[in-house]
Each structure stands twice: as structure tokens, then as C-alpha cells.
Structure 1
Amino acid sequence: MIYVVIVILALIAAIVAPRFMPGALPGLGGAHGIAIARVLLLLLALTAILETSIVKIPANEVGVVRKLYGASNLADGQLIATNGETGYQAQVIPPGTFRISPFFNVLNTLDYLPLVTVPQGFYGRVVARDGAPLPAGQVMADAWPEKDFQKFLDAEYFLTHGGQKGLQLSVLKPGVYPLNLALFEVKIGFIKNGKDVVANNDEIYNLQGLTKEETPLDTSITRVPAGSVGVVRSSVQAKGIDCATITAKTDAEGLAADLVPQGCKGIWADSLSPNDYYLNRDAYDVTLVSTRVTALEFKGGFTRRYIDLKVDSKGDFTQSERTQSFTKPNDSADSAINTKMEGWEIQQELRAVVQITPEHAPIVVAAVGGQSEVDDRIVVPSIRSHVRNVYGGTIQVEQLDDKGVRSVVTRPTRVLDTIEQRPVLEKAILERMQVDGRRAGVDVKEIRLGESVIPPELLLARQREQLAGQLKLAFIQEQTAQEQRQKTEQARATANQQSDLVTAQIGVQTAKLMQDKRAAEGRAERLYLEEQAAGQTAQANVLGKDSVLRLQQMKLVIDVLAAHPDILKNLNLPRIYVAGGGNGLEGAAAVFGGVFQDGAGAAAADVVKK
């Protein structure tokens, strides 16, 4: 307004003031001085006019116009002008605008407001301060079609094309928006997550600019992770959709629920597949249901008794009792199942593998609730019941009769079956659970028994038998080890005396060879003598035994002389040889005659008796 006063005063001065000026100013001619004064006053007025006409909007802000002097006033209940009325105007001045509008700043006021910035992973919750009233029973404005979303952000189009007042079903996706904050209020809610969001702060964009306050508002996107589906419960209903109720069942005798088509008010029959969705949390409540295989464990929650057996060096048994408490883990579905068999109390741990199928997820949520409600209300109680029924009932097992023929018999369940017939028990429980699972929309895939807490008295005899068997095996192993050690020591001693053994072995072999040689020589000598005797016998038969005897004697003498020729050198043989067969004195005469002959070397006289 000050600039308007300056313009008026400057114009008046330019017109009226020269009349009161002296005819001549010092140093200036009279006409020239008046002209210069008028020019200066006109420049002053022009400067003041420009100051009221220049419009300049920074690049990171938007200009919201409030007209001070409009053609008419706004109607009752109307906040934003669309036809030049006095008040906030629907049209805004975009960021980075520079223009000259005569006396714009005189006729209007300009609010410089920030651009609305929606970060990734969140959406902007929009509330319209003006627009058509909501129909009775409707809590949120109708959603704008995706193709008209940009028009929805134009305040003038919004107000002139049926935009409704109040909380909008449509939301702002991540981005930067030059909104008319006189019409729209935008909130972005951040919930503390211990990562990138450290506080529960809301960013609020309105006529006060950007402010923050601490509220539990959450405008994060709806994220359906892999291995899950999202079941939507809607509190709004879109226009132009047939919303006839659909009665769905998991099984002929299973859960039943009333569902609606997508876009209708109620639980949608079609669940959301894994993805990110910009759903207004004020209108849609999404329940995540895992379609992955889930393991439910029954563990802990009992006190176990033990009887420890010890064996002394004499083989005598001593026993002592102790107890140990097992608490239920925080991540287990429930504690171990307490059952009774043959009058004994048995604590049974187990693991069940279950899965909710995607097509049954909406029925399960509508009839029971989320994943935890299904486990707590249906699966866990059913498993506990069927385990008790199987353990307290009968099972079918294979056994051999007296003839060795295998057959299937039905008999009561025994305590030791938890050790010896585990697959049979698991199969019996699984078959019963699968029937209940189909009714509840849950696929029970596997039952695996864990630790069976059997009273220690039942295992005492078996433990004694096992210890006795182990003692027997230990004795046999020790005996075998002792024998092996003796063999090893014998082999070591044999190795140390190897040279003596080789010598002795060679001696034995040499003696055996000599024995064989002498036996062979004896056999040869015997054969020789036998042949010689046979020859002598034949000779005796021809020559007579006496002649043969003399021949043998001569042969022996000749053999001796041949072997020892030195005998002949020193032998004094007779010089006279007398032969004859008479009884006369020829021999004596020859002897005496030789004595009287001269010379020791004379030839002997041969006297032959005829």
C-alpha cells in the first residue's frame, strides 16, 4: 500500500508542484528546471508502480494468490475462488515464474509455499478443504481415475469437476508436486523403524508451509513380500462395480466366508500378489499371509527325569537319579504335547510343516484371521488332539508270524513305539491332520516326531542290557588286542633273530640234503652189492667156490697194492718158488740150495715138480 501512496503523491507533485516553484532555480533555467522535476517525479511514480506489479516465484516454491479486491465475495462455505471472487484463488503461480502484472501486488497478496515432496517408499495423504460435500454414509472422497490424476492436482479443475471435500482416497505417489496448499493439506507419516526412520514424525504441508508433528500416522507403501499374499479388507466401494457377495469355502465341510470382488467394500476375493502397492491405509487394511512352508515346533515346557547307570571295574551296576527342566523356546508354536500310553505319561516334541494356499488365504482371513490366528486357533489344537488320539489308540504295524509270513496287524500303541515305530506314528498323525488341514485351508505337508520323553524306569532294563553287551564287546576287543599284541611282539622278535633263523633254516635244509644223498648212496651200494653177489654166485657155479674165493683174495691183494705201491718197495719176497703136488723133499732141497748160492741177487731156481 505504501507504494500506491508514493505513486499518487509523485503524480500529484509532477502536475501541481511546478506552479508553486519559483520562476528560476539557481543554476537552471526556469523551463528546464520544471521539466527535470517532473521527470524525476514520474520516474519515482513508475518505480513505485513496478514494485507493485512484478511477480517473481523461486524455483522451489509455489505462489498461492489471495485476492484482496475481487468482483464478488465467496459463497457461504466456499473457501477457494474459481471466478475471481475475493479470497484464495484456485490457480497458483508455478515455481520459477517472473512476470509483470500492473498493480498485482496491490490487488492481491502472495503466499510463497514449499513444493510438496513425497519420498520413495511412502505416499502423500491428501485432504481437500473445499469441494462438493460427501454423500451420506461415505467417509472418503471417490478415487480419481489414473488417467485424470494430474487434473486432480489442479485445484480449479478439482473444484469445477466434482472434486469432493474431505479425505481423498487417491494418494500422492513419490515425487514433487506444486499444489495449491490453500485447498489441499498433505501429510506424510513416518513410523520409527530403527533404520532410516528414527522418530514418529509427520510432515504436514498446508498454508503454514512445511511443519512437523509427532503422531502415529503411517503412510508407507503396502509391500507384499515374496512368498506371501495380501488379503485386502476395504472400507470404501468404487462406483460402477457389481459388488454381489461371493460365498467361498475351503472344502465341502471346511471354512466358509463371504467375499466381494476387488474394489468393493469388504474382504476381496482376490488377494494381492507380491509387489508394492500405493494403497490408502485409511481405506484399505492389508493382512499379509505367508504362502511359504512354515514349520510349527512343539518343544520344551516340561521337567525330565534321568536314571544314570555306572559300571565299576568288577562289572557291578550302580544307579542315580537326576532331573532337568526344559523351557518353551520363544519361537516355538507351543510346548511339548503331554500324552499317556499304557498308564505312563509321555512328553512328545514334534515339528509340523504347514502351508496356506494363496486361493484359500482370503477365506482363512475372513473366517479366522491372520496367520497367527490360524496357527493358534486351528492348527496347534488339532495337532495336540490327534497326537493324543494316536498315542492313546491303536496303530497298524507289520510283524512276522511263526511261519515267517509278514502281515499287518492292528494293536494298541505302546510306549516303546515312540522309539521303534516312529514312521508309523508320524504317518498316522499326518493322515488325520491333513483332513483337518483341508477344512481350514491349510496344507499339512509333514509331521516329524522329536524327542520322546519316556519314563527312565522303562529304559532301565534296556540300558543294563546294552551296558552288558558293551562290556562283552569290550572284553572281546581287549582279548583280540592282546592276541594281536602278542603276534606283533613275536613278529618283532622273529625280525630281530632273522639271521640266526636263516642260518638254522639253511642247516636244516643242508642236513636234509645230506640225508637224501646218503640214502641215495645206500640204495646204490645195495644195488651194486646185489649185482656183485649175483655175479659171484654165477662165477661160483662155473669155477667152484674155492677158486672163486682165491680169485677174490688175489683181487683184493692187487687192489691194495694198486692203491699203496709203497708196500712193494719194502717187501722181501721169496727167491725160490717150488711148485708141485708131491710129498718129496723138492721144496726143502730148493731152499737149502738157494742158501748156498753166491750173491743175494742171484736168480731163483725154478723147481717144478712133475
Structure 2
Amino acid sequence: MSNAVIAFLKKIIIKQRVYIEIPNNVIYKTRIGNANAIITPPLKSYYLLIFYIIFKIPLIKKYFTMFAGYFYFLSNIINIMIKGGFLMFLIIKIALIIVAIILLLWIIGLKIIPNNKIGIVEKWWSPKGSLNEQIIALHGEAGYQPEVLRGGIHFRTPLMYKIHIAPLVTIPQGQIGYVFARDGIPMAPTQTLGKIIPESDNFQNVRGFLTNGGQKGPQRGIIREGTYAFNLAQFMIITEDKTYYLPMGNRSEESTINKMAELLKSRNGFTPIVIKGTDDKVGIVTVHDGPSLNQNDIIAPTVGDDVSNPETYHNNFQDPEKFLKAGGFRGRQYQVLVEGTYFINRLFATVELIDKIVIPVGNVGVVVSYIGSKGIDSSGEDYKHGELVEKGFRGVWRDPLMPGKYAFNTYAGHILMVPTTNIILKWISNQSGTHKYDENLKEVSLITKDAFEPSLPLSVVMHIDYKKAPLVIQRFGDIKMLVDQTLDPMVSAYFKNIGQTKTLIDLIQQRSEIQNMASKEMKEKFEHYNLELEEVLIGTPSSSPNDNKIELILTQLRDRQIAVEQIETFTRQQKAAEKAKELKEAEARSAQQTFLTESEINIQIEGNKGKAEYQRSLQEAAKIKALAEAEAEKEARIGIGKAIAVSEQVKSYGGPQYQVTQDIMDKFTKAIETSKIDIVPKTVISMGGAEGGNSAANAFEMLLTLLIGDKLGVKLSTDMNLNKEESERVKKIKEAILKSIEESNKEKEELVKETQDQAAPAKEKEDK
């Protein structure tokens, strides 16, 4: 056994370039640089046994050989110091101190981690033992620890720990990172991806991930742009450029991760889904996780689209946990993605882009839905060709889609275009209308009453009411089938029946009548199929290339028409000659037109002068009449005014007799004053009267009596009628004058009152 031990310990290499060489003769030989020293201590067999046991354990072997090398190195240094003197001793002493410091730092586990790196801690041994099935030691066991060391100085003794330096993980702008967990609870058989653990802090908290039910395998959560400090012993991070993980020597694991990365690249999973508005696309989503659909369903219903309910609103499949919480199923989804950017986990859901449905103007879209529950028939009891349902139910929807763009999921239904403009169907070979529904139609073959067999070209203009479009689709499937299977045989049979009752010439000459009759009679038949017939247009019957009988009939008709046209031509030529005669007369009259025009102008000028003189005389007469009427009005008003004044004076004197007396006395007084006659005579001769009174009268009395009684002829009576009737015009003028006087008096009274009111305060002030 000693020979085997000696052979095993023959050569041990030490980092400090010190090694022990044990030859077969059991001589210990040390080497320091180029110096050799031979030490020959006794080596017993039990020492060899201890060495053998030590070197069978790799960890003890490593550190034992290291410390043995240091021991022999130091012993040889001491010998050199003794022989080399003080200077050499000092140098060696400093070197020993440095070596001792380095050795001390190594023993206490000094570790410097850059700020752009992390340290993953691996514990070699622990009093709590080792792990069984787990990879991460949550309770201090030996194994990978959940916490990582960030940039800075750390102390972890190498006797217990090993620090793995790993980079920080950076997800570039506009990219997505995926996570594969090495440790955790196994997923259920129905699961595809591990559930999201909010306590894991976006996979940066390993302890929170594992203690809250985190599952091993690919995860539902994704990593957005940014820099993260992941524990790469627990999480493997897959990006477009690189996969970040701590190698553990498991090739099958690496193969799985590489396949996962290739799958994501094939799905463009490292970039978000971007749907541009200019592309007119919608995204059809297929979910690969969650409960399966019922066998009768082909599309998963829409769930979690209510923004007001944040617990289940998954924001267009960007939050898988809320989608599943809302009751979402795996499989193709009814909900679609419209324009925008979506960060969707491609392991959870894939997206297929399809074109939007565009319903042009002049069309409606009839929806045939493949999903939904059975709805109530709304087509009516008389409709026996199928059922129409409300929106959201399985079947043909009652209400069509109006013109526009629709984000319609074509896996959940089909939209049939129905034109609402006029549809022209041509029963003419090699011709078709705009909608191409008449590609298979050709002329109608007839047999006339006179045994001709012409081909009748015709066109039918029809219209489909947009509200009845679902009824047409439910009944015929599509418009092309309607034309080929229904309208073609119906129209052909109708005109075949017409042809049997008409001769060929009747068909040609009565085309308009036949056309109007067909429009009226066929309209009811079209309405039976929920169609609206607008017009029927009939062409000219034609024969086959080898049949010229119809052409002969047409030639005769043309000759007959030519004769009729010649008669008409001769008649018109005769009328043209008469018109030529009238033209010459008109030209002769036109030659003298200048003289006629001048004479007519002179007549018109003279007439205008006479009219001007006449108008001038009328204006003069009107002026004279107006002046006369104004003067008469003036005199009348002055006279009436004077009469009113006299009347008022009479009233003031008490009667007309007093007024007359007053006037006479005034005039008499003025006469006496002017002539200077004595009113009382200077000598009075009194003659006795019969009654003994004074019968002699003076001149004043006599004159007064004479003037009043005889000379003036005024009958002084109080019985004068002052209330004689007046004319209506005099009354109106009188009333107007009196009203004007009253208004003037009122204005004067108001002015006086206002003046007194203004003067009163000033007077009171003076009195004070």
C-alpha cells in the first residue's frame, strides 16, 4: 500500500511555484526558484495512510496541498533569511506580510463585484444539509441562494461559498424578453405556461416567486424594455440576440431553451405586434393556454373587454392572468385587434393579420354568423326559406351591415355583398353587366306565331331593397345563384310565351308595347322573390347565321319604309319651295326697311312731344286748383274763427241785443269824440207833458232810440235762435280751432305752474 501512496503523492503542483516531490526512496525534496533543499524526515506507513485519505477528498486535497506548499515555502524562506543577512531578511519580511494579508483576505472571502454585474451565490456546504429536488435553497441549505449580490464589496468565505459573476440583462427598446423558470411548482397537465406571480417583482425576487406558488417552465409574464438583475440560476432569460442563464452542465436543458428561442423567432415574438392604420388590417388572436372550448364551439367568446372592470380587463390579451380570470378559453378568439401596438406573449397567444372588410357605397353586407346561441326567428310566419336572427346569434343576421370598414373576424362568420344599386342583367352572349352576375346568360330562343325562330336579346334592370337583402341571401345563398337558378328560367319562359302569340313583324313593330307589358306583368313575379323590377328592355330579334328568312322580312319592311320616307321627302321639298318664295318677299321688304324705320322714329318723337305738352298743362291746372283750394280753405278758417270769437262775445254779454247795443255805443262814442259834440246840452227847455212829466228828450236819448229802433232796423229780441244748424265741414273746422285753443291754454297753464314751482324754493330761501 505504501508504494501506491508514494506513487499517488509523487508530484503535487502548488500555485506559488513550490511543489513536493516524493521519490520511491521516500525523500522529501523542495524547490524554491532554482534552489533545492532536501529534507529526509522519517515517513511511517500511517502518515502515508493519512495522506491517502486526504487526497481522496478533492476539496481537502486542494487546500491541504496549498497550505503544505505555503509551509515548506516559509521554512525555506527562513533558512535563506538566516544565511542572507539583515537586508534580505527585511525584504522577505515585507513580502511575508503582503502574502499574509492576501491570504487573510482570501480566507474571509473578499469579493468585489462591478456595478454592471451581479453575483450569484452558491453555497457549498451548510449545517442544514443539502436540497433534494429543488435548485434554489430558500432556508439556508447548500445550493444556489435566492438573493443575488449587486455591485460593491462583499465578504463570502471561499470555504463555504462560491460567487458566480453574471451580467445584468438589458432588454432593448421595442423588444420583449421571455422567462424560463428552473425551479418552482410543476405546472398542471392542462397548463402551457406558468402563472404570473406579482410578488416576484417582474422575476427579480426569486424568494417571492417561489414562496407564492411560482411554477417552473416557460412563464406567461414577459419582460419589457429596461435593465434587470435576474438570478440566472433560477431564471433563464431569452432575448432576440442572446439567452442569459447560468450553465449547469445540462445539455437537454440548453436544447430546450434553444428550441424555445427558435419558436419565438418564427413567430416574431421578440417584437410587439404593430398594426398600422394604413394597412387596413385586423389581428386574429389564437390563445394557447387556458381551458379548452366546448366541442360545439369553434370560436372563443369575447371576455374581459370591459374597461370599467379592472379585475378582468386584459387589455387585448396583454394580461394573460386577467384573461383567464375573466373566463377566457384557449383557441381562436372572436375578439380582434385593431390599429395599435400590443405587447403580447407569443407563447401565450399568436396573432394572424387579415384584411378589414370593406363594404363599398352601393352595397350592404349580409352577415352569416358561425358562432353564438340559437336566436329567435324574425323573418315572419310567411317566410319558409330559413330563419333570420338578431345580431350576435348563430345564423343569418336580420340587419345587414351598411357601407363602411369593419374589423370583422372572418373565422367567426362570413359577409356576403349584396348590391343596392340597379343590377343590369343582359341576356346577350359575350356581354355582361357591371356586377358580372349574367356571365352565363344568352339570348332567349323564340318560336313565333308565324313559325320563325328568332333569338331575342333583352336586358332586365332590377333592384334589391337593402332591408330585404338578408331574405334574398337566406333564400338563394348568393345573387349569382339567384340569377342562374331562378331569374334566367323565369324570364326565358315568359318571353317564349309572348313569342308564341306574336308574328315576327309584331315582335318588331310592337316592341314598345311588349316591353311595357312585360315590365308590369313581371314586376309581381320579382316581388315574390323580394326583388324590385325597374325595367325590361327588349332588343331586335335576330336569326341564326344560316337562316336568312328573317332578313328577307326585314328587307321588305325597309323597302316599305323607304317609300314612306320618299313621300315625306317630296312633301317637305314642296314646303321648302313655298318658304323660298316667302324668303324673297322678306328680302325685298328688308331693302326698304331703313326708310320705314326713320319714319316710325319721327312719328314716335312727335308723339312724345305732344304727350309732354299735355302733361305740362295737367300739372299747371293741378297747381292752380291747389292754390285756389288752399286760399278758400284759408278764408273759410278765418271767417269761422271770427264767427267763433263773435259768438263767444255774444255769450259773454248775455245775448245778441247787448252785443249790438255795445257796438252802437262804441261807434257813437267815437263819433261824438271825433266831432266834439256836447252830449248834454248847455240849455235845456223842458216842455210839460200830458202826465206832468218831462216829455222833452235830449239828443242822446233820441239818437239812441232812433238808432236802435228805426235807423238800424235791429229787432232787439231775446228769442234769437243761436243754435242754428251748421254744415259738417264748418263743425269740423270749428272743433279743430277750439281744440287747438284748449291745447294752447293747457300748455300755457303748465308753463305757468312749472315757473311757479321753480320760483317757490327761491322765494322761501329769501324769506328765511
Residue number among 258, 273, 289 corresponding to 1:116 in the alignment: 273
Specify the code of the residue in structure 1 equivalent to 2:237: T
Report what 2:365 is aligned to.
230
Specify the code of the residue in structure 2 equivalent to 1:142: P
Shift of 1:162: 2.0
Cα distance in 2, alignment partners of residues 264 and 432 from structure 1:
39
Residue number among 86, 101, 110 corresponding to 2:216 in the alignment: 86
1:280-359 correspondence to structure 2 within 5 Å: 280-300=409-429, 332-333=438-439, 334-343=441-450, 344-359=452-467
Look up the SS of the partner of 1:451 in the other structure. coil
Contact kept in structure 1, 2:389 and 2:398, CA below 8 Å: yes
| 1:65 aligned onto 2:158 | no
Report what 1:451 is aligned to.
540
Cα distance in 1, alignment partners of residues 423 and 102 from structure 2:
99
Cα distance in 2, alignment partners of residues 442 and 18 from structure 1:
108
Report what 1:203 is aligned to.
none
Specify the code of the residue in structure 2 equivalent to 1:90: R
List alignment gaps of at least 5 residues for structure 2.
1-58, 75-91, 120-149, 151-164, 196-212, 241-269, 307-312, 544-549, 581-768
Shift of 1:184: 1.0
List per-residue Cα deviations over 1:10-36 (Å, max 9, x = no partner): xx99xx999959786759845665578
Specify the code of the residue in structure 2 equivalent to 1:114: T
Look up the SS of the partner of 1:352 in the other structure. strand
Contact kept in structure 1, 2:118 and 2:166, CA below 8 Å: yes
Look up the SS of the partner of 2:497 in the other structure. helix
Cα distance in 2, alignment partners of residues 270 and 481 from structure 1:
67
Report what 2:513 is aligned to.
424
Shift of 1:53: 6.3
Look up the SS of the partner of 2:296 in the other structure. coil
Shift of 1:158: 2.0
Shift of 1:351: 1.5
Cα distance in 2, alignment partners of residues 480 and 129 from structure 1:
94
Look up the SS of the partner of 2:387 in the other structure. strand
Report what 1:77 is aligned to.
190
Specify the code of the residue in structure 2 equivalent to 1:141: A
Report what 1:369 is aligned to.
477
Contact kept in structure 1, 2:398 and 2:470, CA below 8 Å: yes
Cα distance in 1, alignment partners of residues 467 and 498 from structure 2:
31
Shift of 1:473: 7.8
Residue number among 232, 249, 272 corresponding to 2:401 in the alignment: 272
Shift of 1:421: 2.4
List per-residue Cα deviations over 1:299-349 (Å, max 9, x = no partner): 24xxxxxxxxxxxxxxxxxxxxxxxxxx56695552111122222222221
Cα distance in 2, alignment partners of residues 336 and 163 from structure 1:
58
1:25-424 correspondence to structure 2 within 5 Å: 29-30=98-99, 42-43=111-112, 47=117, 49=119, 52=166, 54-70=168-184, 72-82=185-195, 83-94=213-224, 96-101=225-230, 103-104=231-232, 106-112=234-240, 113-119=270-276, 120-144=279-303, 146-147=305-306, 148=313, 150=315, 152-188=317-353, 219-237=354-372, 243-248=375-380, 256-300=385-429, 332-333=438-439, 334-343=441-450, 344-393=452-501, 413-424=502-513
Contact kept in structure 2, 1:234 and 1:265, CA below 8 Å: yes
Q: 1:33 to 1:243 in 2, by over 3 A?
A: same
Shift of 1:233: 1.2
Cα distance in 2, alignment partners of residues 48 and 288 from structure 1:
62
Look up the SS of the partner of 2:218 in the other structure. strand
Q: 1:48 to 1:25 in 2, by over 3 A?
A: farther
List per-residue Cα deviations over 1:531-589 (Å, max 9, x = no partner): xxxxxxxxxxxxxxxxxxxxxxxxxxxxxxxxxxxxxxxxxxxxxxxxxxxxxxxxxxx
Q: 1:33 to 1:437 in 2, by over 3 A?
A: same
Q: 1:40 to 1:383 in 2, by over 3 A?
A: same
Q: 1:156 to 1:474 in 2, by over 3 A?
A: closer
Shift of 1:424: 1.3
Could you tell me the TM-score, scaled by structure 2's length?
0.46
Shift of 1:146: 3.6
Cα distance in 2, alignment partners of residues 163 and 141 from structure 1:
7
Specify the code of the residue in structure 1 equivalent to 2:229: I
Q: 1:170 to 1:475 in 2, by over 3 A?
A: closer
Specify the code of the residue in structure 2 equivalent to 1:78: Q
Cα distance in 2, alignment partners of residues 247 and 473 from structure 1:
62
Look up the SS of the partner of 1:246 in the other structure. coil
Look up the SS of the partner of 1:76 in the other structure. coil
1:478-557 correspondence to structure 2 within 5 Å: none
Cα distance in 2, alignment partners of residues 60 and 476 from structure 1:
91
List per-residue Cα deviations over 1:340-366 (Å, max 9, x = no partner): 222222222122110111111111111
Shift of 1:258: 1.2
Contact kept in structure 2, 1:65 and 1:111, CA below 8 Å: no
Query: % of aligned pairs identical?
Result: 21
Cα distance in 2, alignment partners of residues 446 and 183 from structure 1:
58
Specify the code of the residue in structure 2 equivalent to 1:89: Q
Look up the SS of the partner of 2:222 in the other structure. strand
Cα distance in 2, alignment partners of residues 40 and 167 from structure 1:
56
Contact kept in structure 2, 1:294 and 1:354, CA below 8 Å: yes
Look up the SS of the partner of 2:350 in the other structure. strand
Contact kept in structure 1, 2:465 and 2:531, CA below 8 Å: yes
Cα distance in 1, alignment partners of residues 101 and 477 from structure 2:
95
List per-residue Cα deviations over 1:178-208 (Å, max 9, x = no partner): 11112112223xxxxxxxxxxxxxxxxxxxx
Look up the SS of the partner of 1:257 in the other structure. coil
List per-residue Cα deviations over 1:418-451 (Å, max 9, x = no partner): 3332221111111121111111111001111222
Shift of 1:481: 12
Contact kept in structure 2, 1:268 and 1:362, CA below 8 Å: yes
List per-residue Cα deviations over 1:280-302 (Å, max 9, x = no partner): 211111111111111111224xx
| 1:462 aligned onto 2:557 | yes
Cα distance in 1, alignment partners of residues 67 and 363 from structure 2:
86
Specify the code of the residue in structure 1 equivalent to 2:317: F
Q: 1:263 to 1:483 in 2, by over 3 A?
A: closer
Report what 1:442 is aligned to.
531
List alignment gaps of at least 5 residues for structure 1.
1-8, 189-218, 301-326, 394-412, 486-610
Q: 1:89 to 1:328 in 2, by over 3 A?
A: closer
Cα distance in 1, alignment partners of residues 492 and 346 from structure 2:
60
Shift of 1:248: 3.7
Q: 1:245 to 1:379 in 2, by over 3 A?
A: same
Contact kept in structure 1, 2:449 and 2:499, CA below 8 Å: no
Q: 1:270 to 1:479 in 2, by over 3 A?
A: closer
Deviates more, 1:464-473 or 1:117-126: 464-473
Cα RMSD after superposing both structures: 4.1
